[in-house]
Amino acid sequence: MKLRICSAVACATLTAAILPVFGATMPGVIDTTYGPFPVIPPTSSVVFVCYGFGCKYRAELDLTAGDRAKLAQFLAAGRASPEAERKAIARAGGWFDQRVGPIAGTKNHVARAGMKYMYDTHQFDCIDSSRNTTSLLLVLDQLKLLRHHDVDVPESRGILVDGRPPHATAVLVEKPSGTKWAIDSWTVGYGQPLEVMPLARWKPLD
Query: How do residues 4-22 score in pLDDT, each as one tens digit?
Result: 444 333 344 344 334 454 5
Query: How do residues 135-161 score in pLDDT, each as one tens digit?
Result: 999 999 999 999 999 999 999 998 755
Q: What is the pLDDT of residue 159?
A: 74
Q: What percent of the chain has pLDDT over 70?
A: 84
Q: What is the pLDDT of residue 24?
A: 57
| pTM (2 d.p.) | 0.88
Query: How do residues 70-83 score in pLDDT, each as one tens digit?
Result: 999 999 999 999 99
User: What are the residue ranges spanned by the domains of the chain?
Assistant: 2-202
Q: Which of 159, 180, 182 is nearest to 169 (CA)?
A: 182
Sheet holding 2-3, edge to edge: 2-3, 57-62, 46-51
CA–CA distances in Å: residue 21 to residues 43, 44, 83, 129, 159: 9, 11, 26, 23, 34
196 vs 22: which has the higher pLDDT: 196
Name every residue whose Cβ is closer than 8 Å to that of residue 8 and which is 6 or more positions away in sequence.
38
The backbone region for 144, taken as left when phi is positive above 0, alpha when psi lies in -120 to 50, beta otherwise, is left
Integer Cα distance of 149 and 171 in angstroms: 10
Residue 147 has φ and ψ, to the nearest 5°, of -100, -35
Dihedral over Cα of 131, 136, 141, 142: its sign: positive
CA torsion, points 35, 37, 39, 42, in degrees to nearest 10?
A: -50
Q: Is 193 helix (H, G, I), strand (E, B) or coil?
A: coil
| Confidence category of residue 23, pLDDT binned at 50, 70, 90 | low
